[in-house]
Amino acid sequence: MRRAWLSSGGVFDWDKALARLEEIATLSSASTFWDDAPAAQALMQERTQLDQGVQRIRSLAGELEDAVTLIQMGLEMEDEATQEEGGELLRNLNTRMERIRLEAYLSGEADSNNCFLEVNAGAGGTEAQDWAEMLMRMYMRWSESKGYKVNWIEENKGEEAGIKSATIRVTGPFAYGWLKSESGVHRLVRISPYDSNARRHTSFASVWVYPEIDESIHVDIQEKDLRIDTFRASGAGGQHVNKTESAIRITHLPTNIVVQCQNDRSQHRNKAQAYDMLRARLYEFELRKREEAAAAANATKTEIGWGHQIRSYVLQPYQMVKDARTGAEKGNAQGVLDGDIDIFLEAALAAKAESSQD
């Protein structure tokens, strides 16, 4: 459902946003406002998002005025340096405005939520496990660069290097909306550091992103449909997880969805976290079934291998990262692996915006 302060094209409507802020202020002043806590929390979250949008636009308007003033001063004084300074401010503003324009399309049902991000190594042993760890590092770097908070949920280390699987929780505005397009198989081509003959190897790892949900969203889970296992963190355990016999794995038998948590020494807290993750996975599962692209999106998870990748990262014999869905590409592969993935996230969002207008 689109929020009232977004137009049908997904554009932030200034007048509607201000009117909605006033409406929420009136509603929240009622003595019975917190009688329905989940509804009240959802409304306060909407107010926070609205207020952030309004303040950001006001800030940009002020910066635009400053840039125009600098250019006018430069023209009057015939000072090219001042003109160039104003021009640089305008160019930076244009880049930021384009990102804000794209963010207006983050109006999906759960786009504003925090999210869980899973990475699983494909077949190929140490090489694939190393690639999975590189991918997780990429997402952590990107999240930190955006000011998002990252918490480790589980980590299954490889025998020699890398990870077999890992899950993190990314907390921040529109974390799910930005990262959900990363779900799928990612392919790496490089000279393997684990091959004594220095041969080129192709490795695969899968990424799955699903939104964190609160208690206001009901997900029906029957206890008879669950298999709950307790285990000790496998392998080396990882630096981010505990080493006690308190890790929890929950399998939802009807869908074969599996979640696990091992970041706490308390089995009770790990079970609660795993249960929340399962609710989120099932909710995301239903969301995707309702989306037009559900079939294509879910097909990327059928096999971690050839023909299913959404993006290729080539380090040898040349450097290039290219997205198979949008055609977006970047020559600085190392920069991408260091977290510079905005070009791919923005291209996915732009493609979504374009398709919504067709």
Read off the pLDDT of residues 83-96 as tens digits, 9 standing for 90 and up: 999 999 999 898 88
Q: How confident is the model at residue 8 (pLDDT cuts 50, 70, 90)?
A: very low
pLDDT band at 271 (very low <50, low <70, confident <90, very high): confident
User: Contact, 157 vs 120, CB < 8 A?
Assistant: no
Higher model confidence: residue 12 or residue 331?
331
Domains of the chain (ranges; CATH) run 14-103 (1.20.58.410), 115-357 (3.30.70.1660)
pLDDT at site 269: 86
Average pLDDT, the chain: 84
pLDDT band at 340 (very low <50, low <70, confident <90, very high): very high
β-strands 115-121, 200-211: how paired? antiparallel
Angle at the Cα of 311 from the Cα atoms of 310 and 314, rounded to 5 degrees: 150
Q: Which helix (H) or strand (E) holds 95?
A: helix 80-103
What confidence category does residue 263 fall into, taking pLDDT thresholds of 50, 70 and 90?
confident
Residue 214 pLDDT class (50, 70, 90 cuts): confident
- Rounded CA separation 251/347 (Å): 35
pLDDT at 143 over 50: yes
- Confidence at residue 130, expressed as pLDDT on a 0 to 100 scale: 95
| Each residue's pLDDT tens digit, 284-308 | 888 777 664 544 544 444 456 555 6
- What is the pLDDT averaged over residues 75-81? 92
Q: Quote the pLDDT of residue 6.
A: 54
The predicted model gives 130-139 an average pLDDT of: 97
Q: Which two tokens stand for residue 34?
A: 């917190």
Q: What is the pLDDT of residue 24?
A: 93
pLDDT in tens, 153-211: 989 998 888 999 999 999 988 899 999 999 999 999 998 887 777 788 899 999 999 99
Residue type, 241: V
Q: What is the mean pLDDT of residues 43-58?
A: 85
What is the predicted pLDDT for the residue at 176? 94
- pLDDT for 358 beyond 60: no
The reported pLDDT for the residue numbered 9 is 47
| Confidence band, pLDDT 50/70/90 cuts, at residue 75 | very high
pLDDT mean over 89-111: 81
Q: Is 229 exposed, middle or buried (0-12, 13-18, 19+ CB in 10 A)?
A: exposed
Confidence of residue 11 (pLDDT cuts 50, 70, 90): low
- Check whether the bond before 254 is cis (ω within 30° of 0): no
Average pLDDT over residues 218-232: 85
What's residue 314's pLDDT?
96
- Amino acid, res. 322: K
Q: How confident is the model at residue 12 (pLDDT cuts 50, 70, 90)?
A: low
* Residue with the two structure tokens 């930190």: 144
